[in-house]
Amino acid sequence: MLQILKESVTEPLRVFCNIAAFVIPYGIYKINQHLHKRSDPPWKKEEQANASDGQPKSQ
């Protein structure tokens, strides 16, 4: 039983796929965050700042 577990963990394709299953979504998340930081319009940045302060939106 232990031998089967050891062999399945050390298979290169399985290890690569497990690492890729974490790295790819995390990379997309970070790229998306960076794009939003750089390209959101000014009014959207103001809304996000007000929402994080907990202040009600003035109209």
Q: 48: which 2 tokens?
A: 């996000």
* pLDDT-derived band at 58, boundaries 50, 70, 90: low
* pLDDT-derived band at 41, boundaries 50, 70, 90: confident
Looking at residue 55, what is its pLDDT? Answer: 59
43 against 53, higher pLDDT: 43
pLDDT digits (tens, 9 = 90+) for 2-35: 787 777 777 888 889 989 999 999 999 999 999 9
Q: How far is the C-alpha of 23 from the C-alpha of 17, rounded, in Å?
A: 10
Residue pair 50/57 in contact (Cβ under 8 Å)? The answer is yes
- The full length of the chain comes to 59
Model-level pTM?
0.59
